[in-house]
Amino acid sequence: MSQSQSAFRSLFRTGLPASILALGSLIAFGCTNGEDGATQASPEFDFSADTRIVTIGGAATEIVFALGGGDQVVAVDLSSTFPAHVRNLPQVGYVRSISPEGILSAEPDLIVTTGAFGPPPAREIMEKQSVPIIWLPDPKKVEDVYTSIDTVANYLNTPDEASSLKEAIQSQIEQAQNLGSTAETKLGAIFFLRPPSLDSGGMAGGANSQAATLIELAGGRNVADGFSGFQPVSIESVVAMNPDVIFIGQSSEHGASPEAISALQNNPSLSQVPAIKNGAIYPVPMDDLTFGPRIGEAALRWQALLSNDAESASLAKFEASSSDSPGE
């Protein structure tokens, strides 16, 4: 077993319940069918130990490594941070703002990327190259992950590894969903890429976002359902949405600082929001939104945080009804 496979399989042997669905992807080598980058075309490709792979996008990188192709990866993009040793590989830019010259300088035999690849002119240039490219969707649903795993496995000739990986992910997702279904209260939650400050709004995950999917998998209800994707929200909007739980993305380079979280907690305009009143503000890893092989792990993490507050909500409801009883 390669170092790359063992790094992922350890995730499914440690205390975390089995994981998520794996997800969608179609392949393209120059013909595009949709905005998400999903395409169809299958030229002949022979994968071998000498194949040089460049992966662009965290989900693409994690899937290749999880399926045993990590030893052939010669370069990645800046959004690829797992397994940890990929940070030691040459980097070709950032998936959403990338230079074709940087990619081609790595002399790849195969490129694996997602629909997040951009800007559009860079994609147009890459689609005209002779190098085979696997275009995976920009994953937002569990189904996207599964499709992507199958697509990459087809090129790496690793169908057994794909089946095992999807089973582990599905097991984790089912566990998160089963745990979430036991909660008496379906809590309203919101995820912030950037939380509101004292004098300005934040950036939240709406419908059809990775954040919305994780909240739903965890047994919660995304209160930011009035818009799609990640959009700015005002302080007044947060008050109106009235979340029970607030998730905030964090990483070493991005996301909310402890100071920003403290400012959110102490914002007088939000003092009556349940999540603020009850201290239900949780930093979560920003790469929970990657939606690769670790999506089940992320769903379980978010479910554990939600379930703690579901218990608190049930207790508060009981205490309120008791205090209204005669003799209290």
**Whole domain around residue 268: which residue ranges?**
182-323
In a domain? residue 154: yes
Please tell me whether residues 13 and 152 are part of one structural domain: yes
Residue 199, amino acid: D
pTM as predicted: 0.81
For residue range 54-92, what is the model confidence (pLDDT) as tens digits?
999 999 999 999 999 999 999 999 999 999 999 999 999
Q: Which of the four pLDDT bands, split at 50, 70 and 90, describes residue 166?
A: very high
How confident is the model over 152-165, as a mean pLDDT? 96
Q: Which of the four pLDDT bands, split at 50, 70 and 90, describes residue 129?
A: very high
In a domain? residue 283: yes
Please tell me whether residues 245 and 135 are part of one structural domain: no
**Structure tokens given for 58:** 């965290």
What pLDDT is recorded for position 235? Answer: 95
**Residue where a domain terminates, one of 125, 148, 172:** 172
What pLDDT is recorded for position 257? Answer: 80
Cα atoms in the Cβ-side hemisphere of radius 13 Å centred on 273:
28
Please tell me whether residues 81 and 11 are part of one structural domain: yes
Tell me the CATH number at 233.
3.40.50.1980
Please tell me whether residues 14 and 135 are part of one structural domain: yes
Please tell me whether residues 129 and 195 are part of one structural domain: no
What pLDDT is recorded for position 47? Answer: 86
Please tell me whether residues 164 and 210 are part of one structural domain: no
For residue range 229-284, what is the model confidence (pLDDT) as tens digits?
999 999 999 999 999 999 999 877 666 788 888 889 999 999 999 999 999 999 99
**Structure tokens given for 195:** 């939380």
Sign of CA dihedral 218, 224, 226, 229: negative
What pLDDT is recorded for position 13? Answer: 39
Query: What does DSSP assign to residue 175?
Result: H
**Residue where a domain terminates, one of 146, 172, 198:** 172
Mean of the per-residue pLDDT values of the chain: 83
Largest CA distance in the chain: 81
Between 171 and 328, the more confident residue is 171
Look at residue 181 and tell me whether its pLDDT is greater than 90. no
CB 284 within 8 A of CB 250: yes
**Residue where a domain terminates, one of 110, 141, 172:** 172
Please tell me whether residues 166 and 189 are part of one structural domain: no
Least confident of 110-124, 130-144, 297-311: 297-311
Please tell me whether residues 63 and 156 are part of one structural domain: yes
In a domain? residue 106: yes
Please tell me whether residues 194 and 157 are part of one structural domain: no
Number of domains in the chain: 2
